[in-house]
Chains A and B, each alone.
Chain A
Amino acid sequence: NAGVTQTPKFQVLKTGQSMTLQCAQDMNHEYMSWYRQDPGMGLRLIHYSVGAGITDQGEVPNGYNVSRSTTEDFPLRLLSAAPSQTSVYFCASSRTSGLSTQYFGPGTRLTVL
């Protein structure tokens, strides 16, 4: 199993550009989520999904969209990038939403100029 994979590893955007961060897992996990990591703030939940076709907002959803058309994939879309979205983004998955361990991907480091 590859586990949780994320692409790209690094990305530089200009303000106003859009892009999609990819996340995939091959463990048949129902639950997937996106976090952003900023210095001194730990990780904060952006969006999550409890299964294909079901998504919901986390703590910091503004400026981001998600969809879950398959169990395996959970892309994160930045609609119009802003410097405040400069961060490291982690995708995670777990078997279910509760009483499960979340496994994290390697992260995408995004810089918005």
Chain B
Amino acid sequence: AQSVSQHNHHVILSEAASLELGCNYSYGGTVNLFWYVQYPGQHLQLLLKYFSGDPLVKGIKGFEAEFIKSKFSFNLRKPSVQWSDTAEYFCAVDINQGGKLIFGQGTELSVKP
């Protein structure tokens, strides 16, 4: 069965530190890729997405992600985190563009001021 794996369950950083969250998926065909963020007590919001084209995609709030097809990866990055980035981050994959998202387990990010 297809799956999505996020390597880090809980990441703790100080403000201004750089962030990279890993995401790998197990499927060899066409995929659409997403990163969603869930701030405490809120619903999921889209950070960025990849459908096709440039594998380096930029999202909101300074986040970016790189799709590396050969590694089945879609890692999320931010050069300098802020306290307000404290949230849970979910990687999601849409296999065969059918709309059925498969989510990773989530990574909880805590940023210390």
Contacts and interface: CB of A to CB of B under 8 A. Distances in A.
Interface string B79-113: 00000000000101010111111111110000000
Q: Which residue, B4, B43, B96, has most C-beta atoms of chain A within 10 A?
A: B43
Given A41-B105, A45-B101, A98-B98, A104 B43 contact: yes
Contacts of B16: none
Contacts of B51: 99
- Which bracket fits the contact residues of A? 20 to 34
Given A98-B97, A100-B99, A40 B9 contact: yes
- Which bracket fits the contact residues of B? 20 to 34
A98 B101 contact: no
Interface in A63-92: 90
Contact of A42 (B43, B98, B105): B105
B20 to A, nearest CB: 19
Contacts of B94: 98
B44 to A, nearest CB: 4
A33 B43 contact: no
B70 interface: no
B100 A42 contact: no
A98 B103 contact: no
Nearest to A103: B46
Contacts of A104: 36, 43-45
Contacts of A31: 99
Interface of B: 4, 9, 32, 34, 36, 42-46, 49, 51, 90, 92, 94, 96-106
